[in-house]
């Protein structure tokens, strides 16, 4: 196993989950649509992640669509007992690869059954309701109807735990009045820190915060400060960016995405990287000064 145990665990739902996980979205074809050019390479990345100690994989049946879930099933089934696969529903893909809302009751029920079938499981451990009031950033809108549908599927035993994604503080409060919310998955990284206060509030309530785009997503992080800190520590900028996130809060769980084994190893190395105080101060300043990243 790699050094990933050094980052410790956080209880997600009811499972101690390693804070260094993996996001599967990069395993599809371009624009998160269609199959990858080399499915065997994608399978190798998934197997390497688990062999390195990763026990938290983030996915969705709308990646591909169906592609990442099918790859996960092919690569990892029978699943290790401690592996937590977290999926999400609430969106669908257009024929042109567009990201469209899918909040209707029948669409949500269908999505849960698609995830169960394509992952090859009887129960989904964690399902995030991915809100689409804004596609790229949270926007207000009631989540009562779609979340009530998921809560009913939870009562039926098809879902063990429920989380929320791309949500505002108001939506989290509304959601917690309907059912237990075990995690929030929003856009956050070294340079994009709108959720700073929210992360601390969720930590106080024992709720996991799982940043998507931890490396900047489709436009990877670029910062001269980050590069300088990385050079001083003899690490890569991406390893440093993830080490900063691990240090940010104990309820923060990483799911960086990559289609490359070399990048996967760099990302997992974050758990073993100690950031000295002066490095932390320099990295903190990236998000504190808008436009400096
Ligand atoms: N809830 C949501 O709305 C939502 C939205 C987006 C993503 N997600 C989830 O969050 C996960 C993480 O987000 P993400 O994958 O979009 O973005 P990300 O982890 O911020 O960055 C991924 C990008 O960085 C590159 N990369 C990864 N490791 C690298 C390294 N060590 N050095 C250089 N480049 C590296 C990847 O390319 P290579 O393949 O070449 O490494 C890819 O282009 C996704 O996989 C998905 O599971 C959720």
Whole-angstrom CA distances from 36 to 24, 28, 70, 99, 276 are 12, 5, 12, 19, 39
pLDDT at 292: 38
Q: For 135, what's the count of Cα atoms within 13 Å in the CB-facing half-sphere?
A: 8
Domain encompassing residue 128: 3-219+249-258
Percentage of the residues of the chain whose pLDDT score is greater than 90: 96
Residue 271 domain-assigned (yes or no): no
For residues 79-87, give the mean pLDDT: 98
Residue 286 domain-assigned (yes or no): no
Distance between CA atoms of residues 213 and 257, nearest Å: 8
Q: Which residues pair with 23 in a beta bridge?
A: 58, 257
167 CB under 6 A from ligand 1?
no
DSSP, collapsed to helix, strand or coil, labels residue 15 as strand
22 is catalytic: no
265 CB under 6 A from ligand 1?
no
Q: Is the pTM of this model over 0.85?
A: yes
Tell how many helices (H) and how many strands (E) occur in the chain. Answer: 10, 11
Residue 290 domain-assigned (yes or no): no
Contacts of 152 (CB under 8 A, 6+ apart): none
For residues 84-110, give the mean pLDDT: 98
Query: What residue's CA is closest to ligand 1, atom 15?
Result: 257
Residue 191 domain-assigned (yes or no): yes
Residue 123 domain-assigned (yes or no): yes
Total domains in the fold of the chain: 1
Contacts of 224 (CB under 8 A, 6+ apart): none
pLDDT at 2: 72
pLDDT at 81: 97
Residue 137 domain-assigned (yes or no): yes
pLDDT at 1: 54
pLDDT tier, 284 (very low <50, low <70, confident <90, very high otherwise): very high
pLDDT at 290: 47
Asked if 181 and 147 count as a contact pair (C-beta separation under 8 A), the reply is: no
Res 267 pLDDT > 80? yes
187 CB under 6 A from ligand 1?
no
Residue 244 domain-assigned (yes or no): no
For residues 223-249, give the mean pLDDT: 98
Percentage of the residues of the chain whose pLDDT score is greater than 70: 98
Q: What is the pLDDT of residues 134-172, one digit of tens each?
A: 998 999 999 999 999 999 999 999 999 999 999 999 999
CATH number of the domain at 195, please.
3.20.20.100
pLDDT at 74: 98
Q: What is the pLDDT of residues 17-31, one digit of tens each?
A: 999 999 999 999 999
pLDDT tier, 288 (very low <50, low <70, confident <90, very high otherwise): confident
264 CB under 6 A from ligand 1?
no
Give residue 233 CA to ligand 1 midpoint distance, Å: 23
Residue 83 domain-assigned (yes or no): yes
Give residue 257 CA to ligand 1 midpoint distance, Å: 3
69 CB under 6 A from ligand 1?
no
Q: Which residues pair with 20 in a beta bridge?
A: 254
Give residue 22 CA to ligand 1 midpoint distance, Å: 9
For residues 109-137, give the mean pLDDT: 97
């Amino acid at each position: 196993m790699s050094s990933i145990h050094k980052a410790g665990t956080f209880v997600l739902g009811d499972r101690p989950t390693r804070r260094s996980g993996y996001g599967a979205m990069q395993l599809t074809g371009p624009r998160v649509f269609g199959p990858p050019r080399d499915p065997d390479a994608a399978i190798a990345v998934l197997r390497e992640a688990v062999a390195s100690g990763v026990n938290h994989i983030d996915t969705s049946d709308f990646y591909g669509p169906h592609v990442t879930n099918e790859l996960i099933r092919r690569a990892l089934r029978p699943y290790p007992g401690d592996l937590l696969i977290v999926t999400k529903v609430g969106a669908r893909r257009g024929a042109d690869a567009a990201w469209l809302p899918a909040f209707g009751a029948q669409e949500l029920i269908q999505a849960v059954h698609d995830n169960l079938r394509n992952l090859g499981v009887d129960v989904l451990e964690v399902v995030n309701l991915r809100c689409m009031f804004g596609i790229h950033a949270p926007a207000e809108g009631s989540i009562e109807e779609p979340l009530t549908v998921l809560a009913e599927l939870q009562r039926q035993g098809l879902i063990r735990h429920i989380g929320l994604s791309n949500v505002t503080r108001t939506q989290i409060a509304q959601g917690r009045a309907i059912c237990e919310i075990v995690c929030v998955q929003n856009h956050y990284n070294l340079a994009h820190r709108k959720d700073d206060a929210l992360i601390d509030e969720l930590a106080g309530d024992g709720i996991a915060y799982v940043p998507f785009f931890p490396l900047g997503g489709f436009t990877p992080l670029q910062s001269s400060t980050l590069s300088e800190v990385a050079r001083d520590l003899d690490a890569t900028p991406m390893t440093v960016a993830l080490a900063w996130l691990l240090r940010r809060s104990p309820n923060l769980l990483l799911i960086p995405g990559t289609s490359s084994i070399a990048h996967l190893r760099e990302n997992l190395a974050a758990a073993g990287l100690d950031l000295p105080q002066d490095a932390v101060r320099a990295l903190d300043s990236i998000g504190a000064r808008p436009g400096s990243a």
